[in-house]
Each structure stands twice: as structure tokens, then as C-alpha cells.
Amino acid sequence: MRNISKSLDGQVLRQLRSAARLDYGVSALLLHHFTKHRLPLQARQLHARLILCSVPPDNYLGSKLITLYSKTNNLKDACRVFDKIPHKNTFSYNAMLMTYSLHKQHIDVLNLFSSLSSSSSVNARPDNFSITCLLKSLSSLLFTDVKLGKEVHSFVLRGGFDADLFVENALITYYSKCDDLVLARKVFNRMTERDLVTWNSMIAGYSQAGFYEECKRLFREMMDFSGFRPDGVTVVCILQACGQTKDLVFGMEVHRLIVDNQVEMDIWICNALIDLYAKCGSLDYARELFDEMSEKDEVTYGAIISGFMSHGHVDQGLGLFREMKNQLLSTWNAVISGLVQNNRHEGVLDLVREMQELGFRPNAVTLSSILPTLSYFSSLKGGKEAHAYAIKNGFEGNIYVSTAIIDMYAKSGYLSGAQSVFDQSKGRSLIIWTAIISAYAVHGDANLALSFFHDMLNSGIQPDSVTFIAVLGACAHCGMVDEAWQIFETMFKKYGIQPVVEHYACMVGALSRSGRLSEAKEFVSKMPIEPSAKVWGALLHGASVSGDVELGKFISDHLFEIEPENTGTYVIMANLYSQAERWKEADVVRERMDKVGLKKLPGSSWIETSKGLRSFIATDRSSENSAEICAILEGLLGMIRDEGNLQEELHEDSLFG
């Protein structure tokens, strides 16, 4: 090797000193050598000699120069060389296409390919390398258009490039990025030859698009029939699918496969394994892998922290977060989201302020996480400030931010604000429609909720399980039984969605609220799945309203077994017995509640004032303005009395204590 290097050094010295015309072949060989061995200074000297001798680069020499400048991050010099090639051919075009692609100048790749395909020169025609380069750049763009992919695919078929392995692999990747997995799979199925990249492209496409079961099936097919062994790309994709579906058994098989096939355990695979075990609740094993890692990044910490948070181990997640030397925005978001999911709202806003003091700016993920906290505290002012921040920073178009804002406004009683955000949203997706339907459902406006539901269907959006919960919930609030039955029956017949326990609870609620208790009881007895506390609770509410003590007792017996610490069941049953003047049984229920050690927490309300958020309970006289409040209430009572809407049994003492 040293002898070859000395020989080349001798040649370059002779070339540089010679006044004669430079040899193209030797120059190209030298440029390749300088590029390979990272000798940019010598390469530039040779290029300068070529310019001094007025030697216009031919396609071969020009391509070597383009590659040199590309690998030394001199894109402008590469462009100058390309522009000076007098009669460009496919070889030089491809060199420039590759250069643009490596430097992520994807629009320039499109423009140059267009120039190549429209060239009048017989020596400048796109080949398989040109098309592969084009498809890779199209896949890297932020926006993807399946129509453009189909045009390129047609060009491939017309040019006879459909038998080229690299072109077909690139087509699978592009269609996957366009979320058109049907077309990607068609290309995959028609291939007569496949390599590991082919399998990885299709498996990755399914994994990234959320088709996790298809991803796992294709992986098994690859292992059983292809003859290929998985590499790092394969296992990361399949582990993601296992984690998202909480398929611990399959995930452990993949882990064993990694060990058996001696796949290098790089940081990406370690992160995927930690994420799998954390999502599946095997936190001890996830922590063991975490501790064994010599190199960790923000993804590592994010996976383990999210795992602890999602399984309720908030303090352990926070402890790991505080151990981090270099906290990044993604890990701050993981902790904030974890606190919200665990209803630890008290610490959320303090954490956001701490994050901002350290120089981090909230992004779309941060906003969609903190908005539920603002609605929890009924902080409409804070919610509006978050909305203004989203608009100022261009996050209002983010689907998750928009949805969170609609939900926050609805829960804060500001329906017009929720409607305004919905009206301004572009390209309305299912979760945006579901958010506005839920907003009106929560406020008991079933007619508007149903109207939005039908508008959504007419726009071509298919409902999911959550949408049906919102719509059925709206019907339940208003006792709209016929509409609820009609929607419930179409779930599986028309949309293929199997009802879950929440849907059954809504139906029980609709029947109970409309006074059809016997139908509700029969409906529960015929349920194909075990009734949950929500189902029994909806039926108990109906029994409470109608005063049906025996039905209430039957239901409460089930509820005492399912959730013995729920004070609501004890209170409702004690009240039912009291209304029926069955005092002994009411006392027994209260004594049972005391023995369990439960106490009814007083219901409280919040109101936002100029002095901040104020909490109060019934008969609360802690406010310094109690006298004025009572005076206003007395005035309101007088107005209600004049309208004839005040029930006789309602005493002023119950309001004023």
C-alpha cells in the first residue's frame, strides 16, 4: 500500500511540474486516491493545475471532482465543476444527483432529474441509479405526494427499470412514507428478487404507519421463508411494533433472536428493548438494561422515564429525570406528560416554569400536555394564554394542540372558544371531530353533538371507538334512547367496531335516564362482556332517580365487590334507604362505610378571580365577601320564586347553612 502511495505521489509531482497537457486518466486516478485518503489539499492543487492548463473536465474527470468536493463539504465547488462539463452524460448527472442528495438538497435533486429526463443528448438519460437517487430524495421531503410517486413508478415501468432491485426498494420506501402501504405491498409482492433491504423497507413501513400486526406477520414470514437473518434495522422496527401492541412474548422472542444471531447491541437496539419492556410493565428488566448501558442518550432516558410514569411510578421517573446531566426538551416533555397522566397536576406548571428558566421553549408536545392541567384547575385565563402562545409560535395547526385547546375550552365552559378553534382548523382529522363532538356532549347538547357526528360522516371521516363513546355519551346525557340504539347497532354492522364496556355503560345511562330501568337491567344481563363499575354505576344512578330501593341494593352488592372504596355507592344507597324511610338499613350502610374507613369528601367548586383561583364548598363562609355573596343569592332566590321554579321542599338553610 505504501509503494502504491509513493508511486501516486510521484505521478502527481510529475503532473504538477509538467507543462505538457495533463493526462485525464491519471488525473482521475489521483483524484480518486486523494478523495479516498482524505487529502483535500493535494486534490485542490491538482484541480488548480487542471484549470491553469485550461483543461475542461470531461464526464469521468468531472465526476471525480464532484465526488471530491461533495465529501469535503464544498457543495458550491461541486456545482461549479458540474456546470463546466461541456457535454454532460448520465455519469456526471448521477454524480451531481448523489451530491445533492448527500447534502439534503432534495429540491435540487428534483430539478436536476427533470433536466436530465428532458435532455436532448442521447448520452444523458436517467438510469436505475438516477431514479433511486430521486426516490430517496422524495422520501426525505417533509411533504409526500403519492401522485408524484405514481408518476415516477410509471416512468420506471416505461423505462424497464421495474426489475432493478434498488429501484423497487426505493419505491417501497417512498410509498410507505406516503402512508400508502397497499401500493408498497403490491411492489413488494411482485418482486422476483428481494434482499434484506427489501424486507426491512416493508417491515419499517408497516411499523412506522402503525400497522403493527402486519409488521409482526411479515417479520415471521421473513424469518421462516426468506433465508435472511435480521439486522439492526429489522429488530428496531419489530421491537417498536411489539412495544406498541404490548406484545411482551413476541418481544422476548426477538430479544433472544438478537442474541442468537449476534446482532450488534448498539444504542438504537438497546433503546428499543428498554422501550419494549417499559411499555409492557417489565420495569425491573428495563431498569437492568438501562443500568448496563455504557452510553445513553435522551431517547434512553425518555423510554425508561415514560415507562415508570405510565405505570404509576412517578417518583422513580422523576428521580431518573433529575439524574440526567443534559436534560433535553424531549425528556422534559416526557416528565410533564407523565405527571398529567397520573393526575399530579400540582407540580406540572412549576416544572414548566423551571424548564423555561433553563432556556427551553415549550413546543407542540409541551402545550398538548399542559392544557389538560389548565382545564383541571379551571384556569380559562391560563388556557387562553397557552392558546395565544400556540398562535404566536405557529403550533395552532398541530392536530394534538388544536384538540387539547378544544377540550380545555369545553371543560372550562367556553364553548364558543372551542367552536372557534374547530372552525379555524384545516384538514379536519378524526380526533378534531371527536373533540368538538365530546365538547357538546359534555355540556349536554346532544342535538349539536349528533349534528357534528353526521357532518363528520358526510365529509368521509370514519368514526372510531372513542367517537362512538362521545356520541353515545351525548345521547345518555339527554335520555335519547332511540338515537342511542340506532348508533349502537351500526357500530359493528356498518363500521366493524366491536363495542367495549364504555359503550355499554353509555347505553345503560341512556335507558336509565329515560326511566326505562327494566330494559336497562335486561340489557346488562345480556351483555357479552363482564359489566364494569361504570355500567353498574350508570344503572345505580337510574335506580337512585326512580327511588327503586331493591334494584339499588342488587346493583350496590356488585359495586361493593368491584370497588369497595368508592364512597359514592355507600352515599347513594344510604340516601335511597332514607328516602324509603328504611332508617335501620341506611344506618347499616353508613356503619359499613365507617368500618371500611371511608369518608365522603365534600364536593368543591372553583372560580377564577382577579386574585387567582378560589375553591369553595357548600355553606362555605371563608370568603371575606360572604355577606355580599349571600345577598346576591337571596336576590336570585327571590327571582326564582317569582318565576314559580323554586321547589317547596327547598329551604334557604340548605343554601346559606
Pseudo-torsion of CA 500, 506, 508, 511, nearest 10°?
-140
Round to whole Å and give the CA distance between 396 and 336: 20
Return the pLDDT at 653: 42
* Per-residue pLDDT tens over the stretch 186-202: 999 999 999 999 999 99
**Share above pLDDT 70 across residues of the chain, in percent, rounded to a whole number:** 86
* Per-residue pLDDT tens over the stretch 530-562: 999 999 988 888 888 888 888 888 888 888 888
* Per-residue pLDDT tens over the stretch 577-604: 888 888 888 888 888 887 776 565 566 6
Round to whole Å and give the CA distance between 311 and 342: 9
Q: Which CATH number describes the domain made up of 499-601? A: 1.25.40.10
Reported confidence tier of residue 650, pLDDT bands at 50, 70, 90: very low
Round to whole Å and give the CA distance between 294 and 304: 15
Long-range Cβ contact pairs of 89-93 (< 8 A, separation 24 or more): 89/59, 89/121, 89/123, 89/124, 90/116, 90/123, 90/124, 90/125, 90/126, 90/127, 90/130, 91/59, 91/60, 91/63, 92/59, 92/62, 92/63, 92/66, 93/124, 93/130
* Per-residue pLDDT tens over the stretch 508-534: 999 988 888 889 999 999 999 999 999
Selected residue with higher pLDDT from 70 and 90:
90
Residue 53 pLDDT greater than 70, yes or no: no
Residue 376 pLDDT greater than 80, yes or no: yes
Return the pLDDT at 240: 96
Selected residue with higher pLDDT from 461 and 1:
461
Selected residue with higher pLDDT from 116 and 31:
116
Reported confidence tier of residue 21, pLDDT bands at 50, 70, 90: low
Mean pLDDT of 434-462: 93
Residue 64 pLDDT greater than 90, yes or no: no
Reported confidence tier of residue 11, pLDDT bands at 50, 70, 90: low
Q: DSSP for 91-118?
A: HHHHHHHHHHHHTT-HHHHHHHHHHHHT
Round to whole Å and give the CA distance between 571 and 387: 40
User: Domain ranges in the chain?
Assistant: 194-293, 296-360, 499-601, 604-656
Round to whole Å and give the CA distance between 306 and 312: 10
Return the pLDDT at 602: 63
* Per-residue pLDDT tens over the stretch 284-329: 999 999 999 988 888 999 999 999 999 999 999 999 999 888 888 9
Q: How far from 29 is each of 63, 83, 568, CA to CA, in Å?
A: 12, 22, 85
Reported confidence tier of residue 4, pLDDT bands at 50, 70, 90: very low
The crossing angle, in degrees rounded to 10, of helices 2-17 and 24-36 is 130
Return the pLDDT at 619: 66
Reported confidence tier of residue 19, pLDDT bands at 50, 70, 90: very low
Reported confidence tier of residue 645, pLDDT bands at 50, 70, 90: low
Round to whole Å and give the CA distance between 66 and 25: 16
Cell numbers given for 473: 355519551
Selected residue with higher pLDDT from 133 and 11:
133
Residue 497 pLDDT greater than 60, yes or no: yes
Residue owning grid cell 428495563: 286
Helix (H) or strand (E) holding 613: strand 612-617
Return the pLDDT at 487: 94
Mean pLDDT of 445-459: 93
Return the pLDDT at 361: 94
* Per-residue pLDDT tens over the stretch 415-429: 999 999 999 988 788
